[in-house]
Structure 1
Amino acid sequence: MEGKRKRKLSVAIITFNEEKNIGDCIRSVESFADEIIVLDSLSSDKTKEIATSFPLVRFFEAPFPGHVEQKNKAISFCQNEWIFSLDADERANETLQASIRAFLDANTVNCDGFKIARLTFHLGRWIRFSGWYPQRRYRLFKKEKASWVGENPHDYIELKSGSIGKVMKGDILHYSFQDFSHQINTINQFSSIVAYTRYAKGERFSLFKTILKPIGKFLEIFIFKFGFLDGIAGLWIALASSFSTYLKYAKLYELDKLKMERPSNVKKEYGKK
């Protein structure tokens, strides 16, 4: 970061086998970061080698207990009052970079966090409907005023009671899936985590929900959230979302009725702090 600014900023990123993404992610925040925290879940690829080649990076490693827990752990390593949290498959676009630099240079800031829109690239195009955009969430925030919460893996930043939030110009660019195989693998992984988490909280299998919820999800995405305006990509997104919803309840059936300890693709250390 060039020059001296009114306030300092830490960037927090969690990683696991992100050698294809981490370099571009870091480059998108170098112009405004004072430090970049990378918390890695014991990657077996070149994630560490690439991340540590950047002078602003402070690299840490820890087993992965869950998305919420790991992202809050990354925050705990940050040394500055303000934090920008980013996933490895995300980038700050040029407008957002300029907005953050202006924020760091401003004389006064009358809020505790900023919501930022996220724009996802999928199936060869930017998805602007289907419930995927703008998806504004808090991503830039005061360390003592916010934390990651939610149901793993669907986490989000929550400001503490009484905190003031605003919206910042610019987009986080999200490169979510490499191809259909990657998307199916992600759906399989995430649905297992959701089912496992919900079962641990007391939810049980429901045939009624297993039948109706996937249908409702398709209609929600494709019709009510205008997925049809995203063309064939919107149809695929709606179908994939419906399938993901079905898998959550199918895996609840395995946990509840078949008394499985956990889905086979959920690691034993998951959920341990």
Structure 2
Amino acid sequence: MSYLSISAFIICQNEEHYLGHCIESLEGFAEIVIVDSGSTDGTLALIQSYIDKGWPLRLFRETWRGYAGQKQFALEQCTQDWCFNIDSDERLDKALRRLLPELLDAPDEVVGWRVARRPYLVGYGYTSENVRERKNLRLIRRGRGAYDLRQQVHEGIAASGEVRSATTGSLLHFRPLIIDEQILKENKYSTLKADQQIAEGRRPRLSKLIFSPIIYFLRLYFRNGLWRCGVPGFIEAMTGFIYAFLTQAKIAQRAALRARPNHDDYVGR
């Protein structure tokens, strides 16, 4: 079998129900690096089953370093000319697989490629190719990029050179959480984002609290095309609104508590 000179790298913990299809979508990659941070379900057994079948898979066990730190560790284990960042709940669609040889054949000055991602919506399925999230840098030449370890969430690779956007193809994101679970995730991620921005010196602004959630919703719903997906698309865009609002509200409240700590100043008769 002819292999593509790509190392896919994945960080995971307790991803038994998602990781298998992710691995299978990487068929033809020369190397698959998986860094596990302490799975207690059947994830490790699943990984071993693919190793036993002859998949080019290398497993590392590493204590959690944070999202950026964990991905940087995984990236450093890659040995191929190109490195591809993919999450356990993501899969390459057919168009992206067909495009990969062309991306690898890029001129020397091109060090990375941004790739679109299409989510799976509860009650709808994967969005069409007309509905895409913002393209992010996922494919990087080895040694030509690294993660910013200061980023606590939505971490990305900082490339040392020209980065282009893939014209077709997408990653498929399969984690269909009902709204009860999705709100818990948005709460967790917004806490990480707020704490990160406060550490960077970000101060609360009423304009950001008001307009950031609205802009986030409009970008997802209209520019990214979630309006095409009916009620599931509207719900998806609204979760983005909630994430943006929670982030700004937490920045504001943390500043307010520093200025005026909670004190019960009730005076009885």
Q: Same fold (TM over 0.5)?
A: yes
Within-5 A mapping of 1:211-226: 211-223=210-222, 225-226=224-225
**Kept after mapping to 2: 8 A contact 1:129/1:226:** no
Q: How much does 1:63 deviate?
A: 2.6
Tell me the distance in 2 between the aligned counterparts of 1:8 and 1:225.
32
Aligned partner of 2:154 in structure 1 is: 154
Of 25, 29, 32, the residue aligned with 1:33 is 29
Match of 2:60 in 1: 60
Q: Which has the larger radius of gyration?
A: 2
C-alpha distance 179-60 of structure 1, shift in aligned 2 (>3 A): same
Q: Measured at CA, do residues 44 and 27 of structure 1 come closer, stay the same or move farther in structure 2, by a change above 3 Å? A: same
Task: Return closer, same or farther for 1:33/1:197 CA change in 2, 3 Å cut-off.
Answer: same
Deviations 1:85-116 (A, max 9, x none): 1011101122322333x359x8x542332332
Structure 1 unaligned regions, length at least 5: 260-273
Do the aligned partners of residues 37 and 168 (structure 1) sit closer, same or farther apart at CA in structure 2, a change above 3 Å counting? farther
Offset from partner CA, 1:197-251 (integer Å, 9 cap, x none): 1111122333443233323433443345544332112221232111111111222
Match of 1:19 among 16, 19, 28: 16
Q: List gaps (5 residues or longer) in structure 2.
A: 259-269
Contact between 2:118 and 2:129, CA under 8 Å: does it hold in 1?
Answer: no
Q: Residue 114 of structure 1 contacts residue 166 of structure 1 at CA under 8 Å; is this kept in 2?
A: yes
Q: CA RMSD in A?
A: 2.7
User: Of 42, 47, 50, which aligns to 2:46?
Assistant: 50
1:10 paired residue number:
7
How far, CA to CA, are the matches of 2:42 and 2:182 in structure 1?
A: 22
2: distance between equivalents of 1:22 and 1:201? 34
What is the identity percentage for the equivalent residue pairs of Structure 1 and Structure 2? 26
What pairs up with 1:233-244 in 2 under 5 angstroms? 233-244=232-243
What letter corresponds to residue 27 of structure 1 in structure 2? E
1:154-179 CA-partner distances (Å, limit 9, x unpaired): 12333213x35352642211113332
1:256–1:128 distance in 2 versus 1, CA, 3 Å: farther
1:83 counterpart residue number:
83
Q: How many residues align?
A: 250
Normalising by the residue count of structure 2, what TM-score does the alignment of the two structures yield? 0.81
Q: Which moved more, 1:208-217 or 1:79-88?
A: 208-217
Pair 47,148 (structure 1): closer, same or farther in 2 beyond 3 Å: same
Specify the SS of the correspondent of 2:210. helix
Q: CA deviation at 1:82?
A: 1.3
| TM-superposed deviation, 1:46 | 1.7
Gap change, CA 1:168 and 1:113, over 3 Å in 2: farther
2 CA distance for matches of 1:20 and 1:92? 17
Distance (Å, rounded) in 2 between the aligned partners of 1:122 and 1:91: 15
1:98 aligns with 2:95: no
The DSSP-based 3-state class of the residue aligned with 1:171 is strand
Aligned to 2:184: 185
Partners of 1:12 and 1:85 within 8 A in 2: yes
Q: What is the TM-score when the length of structure 1 is the normalising length? A: 0.80
